[in-house]
Amino acid sequence: MRLPVPAAFPTLLRLLAALALFIFSVAGEAAADCGEHKDAEGGAEVMRVALMIDDGPSANTLRLLKVLADAGVKANFDLVGRNCEADPELVLAIRDAGHDILNHSYAHGVPANMSTEALSEDVAKGRQALKDITGEFPRFYWPPYIAIDPRHAVILDECALTMPITSTLVGASDYDMSVSAEQIRDLSISKAQDGSLILFHETRDETVDMMPAIIEGLKARGAVFLTYSEMHAYLKAKQGK
Ligand SMILES: [Zn+2]
């Protein structure tokens, strides 16, 4: 007499095998999404990063531009309107070097502490300061302290500005003076992964001192350096936004 149970075993085993294969392939895809990617053309490891340089222009801007030029790397400058008005030549030097420029407000206030009117004026003045100097309105608004306020949506819409994707931001907290030059270097390099926005402050001397080593370390990890415009398009496609 044959029992129906053994006959069912092969089917069960096939189902389990299929399930295991499914889990394995999903895990593999997830790992690939989080890690470095193969370049479709050359087969080399590629890690797309964008260097986000806050709070300029400053006394360090020209030195930083030289470092970036020597390394053949494009970065993104999040410029404060009142600093731009104080030194418009530096804004033009950044623009002429081919880096992306983002509106980082006019006076770098804390959005949550500002009235809606003051916040709106701060965004618009920062935008206008860049237009007056470069002849072009910036495309993106980079909020001070990465503090995205619910009121920004309406304000940015009125100014034809786009809020950046900041969810992939990493950094070494170089605004914190207790973070050493070596920590800025090591954390910036080690935290980066494909799609990272790496945050720096050009007002911190040690950040600019370490930038050649940071770029070298990132290149050793397979980094390619995107403008924010390029990264935005990449992250949107990747995150399905
Ligand atoms: Zn800032």
Encode pLDDT of 89-146 as tens digits.
Answer: 999 999 999 999 999 999 999 999 999 999 999 999 999 999 999 999 999 999 999 9
Q: From CA 174, how far away is CA 187, in angstroms rounded? A: 10
pLDDT exceeds 60 at position 26: no
Q: Ligand 1: distance of its center to the CA of 145 in Å?
A: 6
Q: Ligand 1: distance of its center to the CA of 30 in Å?
A: 33
Q: Ligand 1: distance of its center to the CA of 96 in Å?
A: 22
Q: What CATH superfamily is the domain 45-239?
A: Glycoside hydrolase/deacetylase (3.20.20.370)
What global pTM score does this model have?
Answer: 0.82
Q: Ligand 1: distance of its center to the CA of 54 in Å?
A: 5
Q: State the alpha helices, DSSP H only, in 87-115.
A: 88-96
Q: Ligand 1: distance of its center to the CA of 82 in Å?
A: 12
Q: Ligand 1: distance of its center to the CA of 164 in Å?
A: 14
List, in order, residues 6 or more apart from 32 with CB less than 8 Å away: none
Per-domain residue ranges for the chain? 45-239
Q: From CA 64, how far away is CA 217, in angstroms rounded? A: 17
CB burial string 29-62: b at 16+ within 10 A, e below: eeeeeeebeeeeeeeeebbbbbbbbbbbbbebbe
Give which of 124, 127, 166 is closest to 145, Cα–Cα: 166
